[in-house]
Structure 1
Amino acid sequence: MTKFLEGLGSKLAERWLALLLVPSLLLMTAAAAGVTLGHRRWHDIDALLDRLDRLAAEPTLRTAGTLIFVVAGLAAVSAGLGLAATALGTAIEQVWLATRPRWLAARRRRRWNAADARFTQALLAAARAEDTPDAKAAADRARALNARRNRIGLVPPVHPFWLGDRIAAVDTRVWETYRLDLATAWPRLWLLQPEDARGELTAARTGLAAATRLLAWAVGYLVIGTVWWPAALIGAVTAATAWRRARIAGAAFAELAESVVDLYGKRLAQELGVPCETRLTRSVGAEITTLLRKQS
């Protein structure tokens, strides 16, 4: 038990150092530089070094008690900033996955409908052009329009943001294909997965949380940018990086979650005693859904 607690303490310390302490110290450093330099002297390194020298020369900062107090204060502030960034990242994720504002979701739905109509027309044109010299060009156009529609959403959008629709599309696609209620079946599917498959899912989910937390740090730099414009540039670059990472992690998580149903749906049916000889079908999925919902 002692070794376990020591290992747990070291892991928590490493996690706090990586996720909270270092980003917090960087943000506090940028804030101190911004307050000292301002917009007009944004590049005056000499003024910043002079300020540091004057602080170091203060007699009160040379006592052990003061140093301990300063270090403890910095640690407390960094922990508070880290917790605030985590909370803000969670809020950002909830906004991305929400179904409101509805007007924005309706706008994405109209874009998807228009792209779907163009793809349908191109698909019909490709069918008419079959066995003609224009067949390849028509097929390529249909594929390009299909990819353009899928970039908006794999299913008709109901969320204002792409990430919410990409993750929600898993439920829709699983239901339409297998008539399986994924929300009800997921805990059972999770128990059937091997450890490496769970690790892949966990890594993708952790990556999404890390991306939203990075965006929260970007907000901090944008706030500092009101008094020191280089911080706003850092915040903008950080926000763009976080947005890109969130899309990649969200798409990976959704793809892996859907793959779990494709790979372990048959085993779920067998474990529940539902006949499934070849592969998961709509009738089998409907029976599993009824069973797991405890419906008569």
Structure 2
Amino acid sequence: MGQFWNELAKKLAERWLTLLVLPGVMYLAVAAIAHALRRDHALDLGYLSRQITSYAKDPAISTAGGQVVFLVAVLIGAAAVGLVAQAFGAFVERLALAADWHTWPNPFRYLTARWVTSRQRRWDTAHTNYRTQYEAALSPDPSRRPSPILLSIAAHQRTRIAVDRPERPTWTGDRIHAAAIRLDRDHHLDLATVWPYVWLTLPDSGRTEITQARTALSRAATLAAWAVLYTPLALWWWPAAALAAATGLVARHRIRTTTSVYADLLEAATRLQAVTLSQTLGIPHTGPLTDHLGDTVTSHLTPRPPDGGNRSSSS
């Protein structure tokens, strides 16, 4: 038992160091450089070296006790900044997925609705273009068939807007929502209803893959939060703007990539596990997943609405 707690403490310390302290130390270092150089000496490494030397000679830091206090202060400050980034990352993730945008207060809800409508119009146009190219590719007359490159470009232009018809203001939100749309369209499965039960019947390997993908998405959102935190430092030190922009671009790419992987795993796990779930529920079925089975499983797992009556419970 003691070995278990030692391993747990070791893993927690590693996560604390990796997720909070190291990014926080880097942020504090950039903030210190911004404070030391400012705009007048933005790229003057010699000036920075002299400033660091003068700080190191300060009696409050040059002593052993002062160095211990300084190290503890840096670790606490780094952890605090890391916690702020984690909290703000959760907010960034919520905005990126935008699952609850219909409940946002006005004028944000109104502006978001207009943006969603605009995305839908652009997607419809791109989809029409793709369908035209696709149907032409099926023509028996080779002279009327478009180049495969044109068909690929048309598909890419549509996917850049959304994988399926947009219902949310962001690409990442629509990527998750597309998994639910396709499961309902292909097999009449309601992902929101059946997913908790699918998760409980998944093998450990499937849970591990999905958990890792979900964690990667959260970390990508936290990286975007770091980009936002670096931005105010540009008011004192302009190179911080380049660092914030680079971090933001990387975060955007990682959010899209991890969201796509996570959505694929959600959809694949539900398709693969639906028949097993039906057998667990005692629903007789043989063969592959069908629309009828999807309707039956979804109906079986959908909670009944309250009857509105007052029932007394006996204790």
AA matched with 1:152: I
Q: Name the CA distance, whole Å, in 2 between partners of 1:36 and 1:143.
A: 52
> Which structure 2 residue ranges, 5 or more long, are not aligned?
102-108, 306-315
Q: Any conservation in 1 of the 2:97–2:170 contact (CA below 8 Å)?
A: yes
Q: TM-score, normalised by structure 2?
A: 0.88
Q: What amino acid maps onto 2:28 in structure 1? A: M
Q: Which segment is superposed worse, 51-60 or 174-183?
A: 51-60
Query: Which one of 181, 184, 190 corresponds to residue 172 of structure 1?
Result: 181
Q: Is the 8 A contact 2:198 2:277 kept in 1?
A: yes
| Residue from 251, 276, 301 that aligns with 1:292 | 301
**2:31 matched residue in structure 1:** 31
**Structure 1 match to 2:165:** 156
State how far apart, in whole Å, the 2-side matches of 1:173 and 1:48 are.
57
| Matched position secondary structure for 2:164 | coil
Deviation at 1:251, TM superposition (A): 0.2
Partner of 1:224: 233
Q: Does 1:132 align with 2:132?
A: no
* CA–CA distance in structure 2, aligned partners of residues 138 and 68 of structure 1: 68
Q: 2: CA distance between counterparts of 1:151 and 1:266?
A: 33
- C-alpha RMSD of the superposition: 1.9
Whether the aligned pair in 1 keeps the contact of 2:133 and 2:146 (CA below 8 Å) is no
Letter in structure 2 aligned against 1:287: T
The correspondence of residues 245-264 of structure 1 with structure 2, limited to 5 A, is 245-264=254-273
Q: Which residue of 1 aligns with 2:124?
A: 113
Please tell me whether the aligned partners of residues 275 and 284 of structure 1 are also in contact (alpha carbons under 8 angstroms). no
Long gaps (5+) in structure 1 = none
User: What SS class does the counterpart of residue 167 from structure 2 fall into?
Assistant: coil
TM-fit CA distance, 1:242 = 0.7
For 1:61, the equivalent position in structure 2 comes to: 61
Work out whether residues 123 and 139 of structure 1, in 8 Å CA contact, stay in contact via their aligned partners in 2: no
Aligned to 2:201: 192
What is aligned with 1:73? 73
Whole-Å Cα distance in 2 between the matches of residues 41 and 141 of structure 1?
A: 51
Q: Is the 8 A contact 1:266 1:280 kept in 2?
A: yes
Alignment of 1:10-25 (within 5 A): 10-25=10-25
Letter in 2 for 1:47: Y
Q: Percent identity?
A: 34
CA distance in 1, matches of 2:243, 2:55: 27
